[in-house]
Structure 1
């Protein structure tokens, strides 16, 4: 009798493992695993633990006597020598946005943290897109995938593909990576990893960079 129970329990366990395996294979085969993982990571973003301390950065910018030079990234002039391809296939340049605050984000559709933070960026763009230039630079091998993702999600974000080599100051091995350039052309902010950018403190930070 005990052997029958053990065999039944083992059979049930193998069925569960098999079900999980089929689901996992299906998700990877369809590419949906990225969005599933991204959705899970969005819960972590909701805690605010991943957000950069922009208040500290802002204080460093405004305090000329601050000795923490690691935070005073505004001393570095942004390199606008970056060519872009927009959704319509036109070649653009980062220099076109000179004089405005620029939100430059490196992302890809296959990157779960990128997918996780995208809704917050979309909401930020809806609110501040007239005052801040958003440059969502896709690193997908096929730019059509990025455009399809943007359309399917209903974001209508200003997405681009790189049309030239990245300037040294924008070369990052991490996705997502976000750079903020202030209206005076200074690199004011660099953040590697995901964050919730639809945050009141971050919005205030951007407004102070105009």
Structure 2
């Protein structure tokens, strides 16, 4: 990616922030350089079952939701400044990863997520990495270029419209920010089936087997 092309994308993405942020322009941002007041103590007690394969991330296991409710239709920006949503990927299994470039565990797992999208992504599965960096594309595009990340799309949420915290209160149009990184899993029917707090080894057999299970025999 040339520097000029990257600059154009950054400007376009910045122009889209106003459209994304308009409904919540007076809400304070959830994250300002650090994730405050969040941790495993906020995690709800979710029912576990044997219906899905189990795997773990950085010390925290996958938590299966029960019952499985429709995932919120969160809105975010692409690197062209266009508003996108999870509805754009209807019919696919989604791995929605909330991350930031200032979060060491987040950036540590991004190359493996890129390989996950390269190897498994397509009509059956999509990795949806949403950066909550306040600078938006200005932070994310150089990181992608420096790490050689090519398969993952660039999705941005500089005003944190996609997430809510314990301090801001639950919102039906957003996902709970239990920590960073946090990954949410959505099945083909658009249901939120579970989540994982912390980084994971996405190259390992466990998470890949889990996603293939969700996607079905064709994946």
Residues 145, 79 of structure 1: alpha-carbon distance in 2 compared, 3 angstrom cutoff: same
Q: Which residue of 1 aligns with 2:198?
A: 193
Q: Going by fraction, where is helix more abundant, 1 or 2?
A: 1
Q: Which residue of 2 aligns with 1:149?
A: 143
Paired residue for 1:204, among 180, 200, 209?
A: 209
SS at match of 2:50: helix
* Shift of residue 100, structure 1, vs aligned partner: 0.6
Deviations 1:40-77 (A, max 9, x none): xxxxxxxxxxxxxxxxx783349xxxxxxx95415222
Residues 74, 198 of structure 1: alpha-carbon distance in 2 compared, 3 angstrom cutoff: farther
Pairing 1:136–2:129 present: yes
TM-score, normalised relative to structure 1: 0.63
Pairing 1:161–2:156 present: yes
In structure 2, how many angstroms separate the alpha carbons of the residues matched to 1:58 and 1:104?
22
Aligned-CA RMSD value:
2.3
In structure 1, how many angstroms separate the alpha carbons of the residues matched to 2:149 and 2:69?
31
Q: Which residue of 2 aligns with 1:121?
A: 113
In structure 1, how many angstroms separate the alpha carbons of the residues matched to 2:92 and 2:146?
29
Kindly indicate whether the alpha-carbon contact (under 8 Å) linking 2:95 and 2:186 is maintained by their aligned counterparts in 1. Answer: yes
Unaligned 5+ segments in structure 1 are: 1-56, 63-69
Paired residue for 2:73, among 77, 81, 90?
A: 81
Greater relative contact order structure (CA < 8 Å, 6+ sep)? 2
In structure 2, how many angstroms separate the alpha carbons of the residues matched to 1:141 and 1:188?
29
Q: Which residue of 1 aligns with 2:104?
A: 112
Kindly indicate whether the alpha-carbon contact (under 8 Å) linking 2:71 and 2:186 is maintained by their aligned counterparts in 1. Answer: no
Paired residue for 2:94, among 94, 102, 106?
A: 102
TM-score, normalised relative to structure 2: 0.60
Kindly indicate whether the alpha-carbon contact (under 8 Å) linking 1:84 and 1:91 is maintained by their aligned counterparts in 2. Answer: yes
Count, aligned residues: 147
Kindly indicate whether the alpha-carbon contact (under 8 Å) linking 1:84 and 1:160 is maintained by their aligned counterparts in 2. Answer: yes
Unaligned 5+ segments in structure 2 are: 1-47, 54-61, 164-170
